């Protein structure tokens, strides 16, 4: 049996434009590829210029539409400019993937005030700032989808990660609040909660903790599905939330962790 064209249309993002933060590497970069494969034009936001330009070239080489836009999500001016530039280039904004993150593996006694501020500014303030800029354009487009990156630690605590757990817990409840606020505009707001995914961020956590990388990654794989996640695992969940497959889903979270929280 051939694929029903109506099903293909449900998953397609053709004619739509998306903004992805933290797009230079890891989950952000993998998701940018996936959304571009689904037909979206993608604005790639990051402070990593080299990685961002590389991601842009990779997507364009595969036939997609992409633009790297340097953006520090802690800056209101950067966020305003990045959204405006995306709309200028692609004519609209339909999807916002708030993914930029930082993991500082310290408890409250070891964590400095500046590290606390950095964590919450990147992972909470950044979502607020970009959502504030994106929503008016989504209203103009007749609706949209905002996807925030939470974590398994949005739902439970973890060791030596007090600022990360605080920020990711906030991301989940902010998602719910925004879903209530913007549902009347047909803007859906959802949260994807990954477990351990093989990214530079995860391996950076290993280095911070001073652990043996092989043992660290083996422990990360100790879950029912017996493996560490891939960026594609998370990207597929984001595509679900971005597409019409989830047209009646808002204020929800989807745990993508190989059963780690089961």
Spell out the domains of the chain, with CATH numbers in brackets: 13-195+230-255 (3.40.50.720)
Gyration radius (Cα) of the chain, Å:
18
Task: Tell me which residues of the chain have a pLDDT lower than 50.
Answer: none
Give the up-direction half-sphere exposure of residue 145: CA atoms within 13 A in the CB hemisphere. Answer: 28
pLDDT at res. 183? 98
pLDDT computed for residue 5 by the predictor: 81
| pLDDT of the residue at 254 | 98
Q: What sign for the dihedral angle of Cα 119, 171, 234, 97?
A: negative
Distance CA 98, CA 116 (A): 19
What residues are annotated to the active site? 164
How many of the other CB atoms lie within 10 Å of CB of 195? 22
For residue 76, what pLDDT is reported? Answer: 98
Helix (H, G, I), strand (E, B) or coil at 138: helix
Q: Which H/E stretch holds residue 237?
A: helix 231-242
The H or E element spanning position 21 is strand 17-21
Cβ proximity of 37 and 237 under 8 Å = no
pLDDT on residue 1:
65
Count Cβ atoms below 10 Å from residue 261 Cβ, excluding itself: 13
pTM (global) more than 0.85: yes
């Amino acid at each position: 049996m051939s694929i029903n064209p109506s099903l293909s249309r449900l998953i397609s993002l053709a004619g739509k434009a998306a903004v992805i933060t933290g797009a230079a590497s890891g989950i952000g970069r993998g998701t940018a590829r996936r959304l571009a494969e689904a037909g979206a034009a993608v604005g790639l936001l990051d402070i990593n210029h080299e990685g961002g330009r590389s991601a842009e070239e990779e997507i364009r080489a595969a036939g997609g539409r992409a633009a790297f836009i340097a953006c520090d999500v802690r800056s209101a001016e950067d966020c305003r400019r990045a959204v405006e530039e995306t709309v200028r280039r692609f004519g609209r904004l339909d999807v916002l993937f708030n993914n930029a993150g930082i993991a500082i593996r310290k408890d409250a006694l070891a964590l400095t005030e500046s590290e606390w501020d950095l964590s919450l500014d990147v992972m909470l303030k950044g979502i607020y700032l970009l959502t504030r800029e994106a929503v008016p354009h989504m209203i103009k487009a007749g609706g949209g989808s905002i996807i925030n990156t939470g974590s398994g630690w949005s739902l439970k605590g973890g060791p030596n990660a007090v600022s990360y757990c605080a920020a990711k817990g906030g991301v989940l409840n902010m998602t719910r609040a925004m879903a209530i606020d913007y549902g009347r505009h047909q803007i859906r707001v959802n949260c994807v909660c990954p477990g351990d995914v093989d990214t530079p961020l995860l391996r950076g956590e290993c280095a911070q903790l001073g652990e043996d990388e092989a043992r660290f990654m083996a422990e990360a794989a100790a879950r029912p599905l017996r493996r560490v996640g891939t960026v594609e695992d998370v990207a597929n969940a984001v595509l679900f939330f971005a597409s019409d497959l989830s047209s009646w889903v808002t204020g929800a979270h989807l745990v993508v962790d190989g059963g780690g929280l089961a």
